Structure 1
């Protein structure tokens, strides 16, 4: 499985800041997904069903965690979310 989360190793104190930045980015991505989903009037259960039609394994619980920034998002999930929301990676990742 491919994950957007990248492994980091601590280098002279930079590890904490970098890990914190990545965690912040995950939260922003999740917030963007939630915002776009709501703007388009798509419920979480609908989103999950549409993602599953693209052969992407995801549950509603996993989507909730992704939107809250507490679960890493797989590349295949991000691609399916982009397709379902008919948006761009730039819009999801800003």
Structure 2
């Protein structure tokens, strides 16, 4: 694994150092991730959670009606309109700066 990270991954040296640290201390990495998720929930997600709980059932119902009415045509339209290029750009930005 270490050889793969050091030779085959196109990460910056700083990112590789962070990855090595995570691999050498998985229990600490787990605790850090749990802390990060709890912090995110308390400081960000909990603010929008009530709105999402109200909105999501309506969105799900609307999507179900649209799929039942238009069938495969609607699903193909959804897939066609996904901007895959921006996702790839974002992925490159986040993973390999």
Is TM (by shorter chain) over 0.5?
no
Q: Give the TM-score normalised by structure 1.
A: 0.30
Q: Give the TM-score normalised by structure 2.
A: 0.29
Structure 1 or 2: more helix by fraction: 2
